DNA sequence: ACCTGAACACCGTTCAAGT
DNA sequence: ACCTGAACACCGTTCAAGT
């Protein structure tokens, strides 16, 4: 009953090593060949487990976004939830080197059930009384802002000067607060 | 008095051809070798006119941003100016294929006088009564939002679904309005 | 089922050498 | 001053072949 040896690789080991490589070398250093070398394997071996580099980036992006959704503290109002989500996004982008750039360049997942995905994303806001249309629009706005801010902070055209002039954390907070409280105008009633 | 022939290349021709190539092939197709081929020249010739690909991307990013600043309609209030700027940014990102991705990935210019640059950016808002600190923070927020929105729209994790659910132009407008009107809270007095 | 070896069609960049 | 030829050190990906 000798079973054959377990495969050396699987998707989890692959993605894990990719994150380690990203941390050490940054996004430009994240090549399939280097990843293979770190795993003690030849580059083509990776293609048994994933279709192409785009899929790898997509898996990594999911792992970056996931804790942001999971990490939003309980909120009594959808505005509080959005603010919490914005801060969680900023934190998760900061956790991984080049995290925002990776998420911006990762292709959208192919096979995912997008309707289901969108429903899950809108769910926390729907539970707080927001219709799905507005919920998605607001979430999209907050993600865009956080994503854009991280890109801008990393290498925007006036980074050097802003670095002296501005507290990035505080200014992000101001922008996020403004964005979310401004959503009130787009909501009837309250 | 026979003068030597004019050089075949200069920075303007180079950047112009780069934009044409970008339009046809997208950001992944914008390689130094293809650019050289389109100009009827060998790749190393490009390096006489620019230091590296980063500099080329930086020049292109400037040409993308510039009309956004120039195209903001006259405004009586800094909030109107910011909204106009946001729409101008969205328009200019849409004008060039992969415009936002290019701007997000272009390295910051090296030699520029950043203090002067920032002062010029803040100037229209300063003329409308805003202090430079807030002016920069607000401009940074609007750029981040527009940049992030364009990235998100291009290949965000829920693009396919949003495409059916959401009018991107309208939702951008809602987000921009929310952001700008929310800045009132960060301003004392009015 | 899972991985290797060799190859294909590319990159950005450097540098001596030509004119 | 401006450009070529040849090279270096890489890429992502495919595919027959091995085990």
| Helix-helix angle A53-70:A78-95, to 10 degrees | 130
Query: Architecture of domain B10-50 in CATH?
Result: Orthogonal Bundle (1.10)
Residue A175 is nearest to which of B62, B109, B141, comparing CB atoms? B141
Same fold yes or no, A10-50 and A64-185: no
Q: Give the 3-state secondary structure of chain A.
A: CCCCCCCCCCHHHHHHHHHHHHHHHCHHHCCHHHHHHHCCCCHHHHHHCCCCHHHHHHHHHHHHHHHHHHCCCCCCCHHHHHHHHHHHHHHHHHHCCCHHHHHHHCCCCCCCCHHHHHHHHHHHHHCCCCCHHHHHHHHHHHHHHHHHHHHHHHHCCCHHHHHHHCCHHHHHHHHHHHHHHHHHHHCCCC
Answer for the pair A15, A26: CB distance below 8 angstroms, yes or no. Answer: no
Q: Taking the model in full, what pTM does it have?
A: 0.92
Q: Residue B95: in which H helix or E strand, if any?
A: helix B78-95
Residue B162 is nearest to which of A136, A152, A160, comparing CB atoms? A136
List the nucleotides on chain D closer than 7 A to a protein CB.
Answer: 1-7, 10-16
Residue A91 has pLDDT above 90, yes or no: yes
CA atoms within 13 A on the CB side of A180: 22
Domain range summary for chain A, segments of one domain joined by +: 10-50, 64-185
Nearest CA in chain A to B105: A155
Q: What is the pLDDT of residues B75-97, one digit of tens each?
A: 999 999 999 999 999 999 999 99
Taking contacts as CB-CB distances below 8 angstroms, the residues of chain A near B82 are: none
For B135 and D12, how far is CA from C1' in angstroms? 44
Q: What pLDDT score does B101 carry? A: 93
Q: What pLDDT score does A157 carry? A: 59
> What's the burial of B158, exposed, middle or buried (CB within 10 Å: 0-12/13-18/19+)?
buried
* CA-wise closest residue to A39 among A11, A60, A57, A13: A13
- Mean pLDDT lowest for which of A5-9, A83-87, B134-138? A5-9
Q: What is the pLDDT of residues A133-182, one digit of tens each?
A: 899 899 999 999 999 999 888 876 567 777 777 889 999 999 999 999 99
* CA-wise closest residue to B79 among B176, B152, B188, B150: B176
B117 and A61 within 8 Å at the Cβ level: the answer is: no
Answer for the pair A103, B151: CB distance below 8 angstroms, yes or no. Answer: no
Taking contacts as CB-CB distances below 8 angstroms, the residues of chain A near B138 are: 175
A182 and B186 within 8 Å at the Cβ level: the answer is: no
> What's the topology of domain B64-185?
Tetracycline Repressor; domain 2 (1.10.357)
Residue A108 in contact with partner chain B when CB distance is under 8 A: yes
Q: Which two tokens stand for residue B100?
A: 């936002």
Does residue B112 sit in helix, strand or coil? coil
Residue A6 has pLDDT above 90, yes or no: no
Q: What pLDDT score does A12 carry? A: 96
Residue A188 in contact with partner chain B when CB distance is under 8 A: no
To the nearest whole number, what is the mean pLDDT of chain A?
A: 89
Nearest CA in chain B to A185: B178
Answer for the pair B60, B22: CB distance below 8 angstroms, yes or no. Answer: yes
- Supply the DSSP symbol for B86: H
Cα distances (Å, whole numbers) of residue B99 to B63, B65, B146, B166, B174: 10, 10, 11, 22, 22
Compute φ and ψ for B186, nearest 5 degrees. Answer: -90, 5
Q: How close does chain A come to B131, measured CA to CA in Å?
A: 12
B179 and A181 within 8 Å at the Cβ level: the answer is: no
Taking contacts as CB-CB distances below 8 angstroms, the residues of chain B near A140 are: 149, 152, 156, 158, 162, 166, 171, 175
Answer for the pair A157, B165: CB distance below 8 angstroms, yes or no. Answer: no
């Amino acid at each position: 009953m000798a079973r054959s040896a377990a495969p050396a690789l699987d998707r989890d080991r692959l993605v894990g090593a990719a994150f380690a490589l990203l941390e050490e070398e940054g996004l430009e250093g994240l090549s399939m060949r280097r990843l293979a070398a770190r795993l003690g394997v030849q580059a083509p071996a990776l293609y048994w487990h994933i279709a192409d580099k785009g899929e790898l980036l997509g898996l990594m992006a999911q792992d970056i976004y996931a804790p942001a959704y999971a990490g939003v503290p309980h909120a009594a109002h959808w505005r509080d939830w959005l603010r919490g989500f914005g801060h969680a996004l900023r934190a998760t982008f900061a956790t991984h080197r080049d995290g925002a750039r990776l998420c911006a360049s990762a292709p959208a997942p192919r096979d995912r059930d997008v309707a289901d995905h969108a429903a899950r994303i809108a769910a926390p806001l729907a539970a707080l009384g927001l219709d799905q249309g507005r919920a998605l629009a607001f979430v999209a706005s907050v993600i865009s802002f956080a994503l854009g801010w991280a890109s801008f902070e990393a290498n925007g055209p006036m980074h050097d000067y802003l670095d002296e002039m501005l507290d990035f954390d505080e200014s992000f907070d101001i922008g996020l607060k403004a964005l979310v409280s401004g959503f009130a105008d787009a909501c009837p009633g309250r």
